[in-house]
Amino acid sequence: MKRFFLTFLLLFNTTRGEDSPTPPPSNLSPTNSTTTITSDSLDLNLGKKMGRKQGVFRGNVQVDEPRFKMTSKEMTVFFAENDAVESLEAREDVVIERKDGSSKTSSEKALYDMNEKKLTLLKVARQPKVVSKDKTVFADKIILYPEEDKMMTEGASRVMLQKAP
């Protein structure tokens, strides 16, 4: 199976609370860090005349960065005119797991906006969920602001609280 690798060097300001739900596929530490995206194929369009600048990763998508790992079947990264990452959209079996083991999310679709520093988990056929050490949250739409340690839900929502061992 042919595999393509794309490595992004990104500079960002991220501070994260101890119990923040899940870091998004986005901001890295203030120092230079490497995010590696691996997939079975990559279609990259960085030409101004060919529409919006984007990279579409298909098949066994894996994102590895210092704080989290993410997997999905497909992911599109959208670039600004200056080639900085603007946003991304992951689709099908999206799982984001903190490397420190503090939380894990699963959804059918996840959107991350770099400017707003907002991760949105969306329902397609089943509700997304966020699992942490003391709670599991299900909702039609879960919006996470990791830098603010804030979570909001929209639509049908359910929270299951559990005691940590």
The domain spanning residue 26 has which CATH number?
A: 2.60.450.10
Q: Residue 116: which domain range?
A: 4-161
Nearest to 118 by CA among 23, 3, 2, 17: 23
Rounded CA separation 42/58 (Å): 6
Total structural domains within the chain: 1
Sign of CA dihedral 15, 17, 21, 22: positive
Q: Give residue 148's pLDDT.
A: 83
pLDDT bucket at 77, cuts 50 / 70 / 90:
very high
Predicted confidence (pLDDT) per residue in 60-72, tens digit: 999 998 888 999 9
Per the model's pLDDT, the better-predicted residue between 164 and 52 turns out to be 52
Using DSSP, state whether 99 is helix, strand or coil.
coil
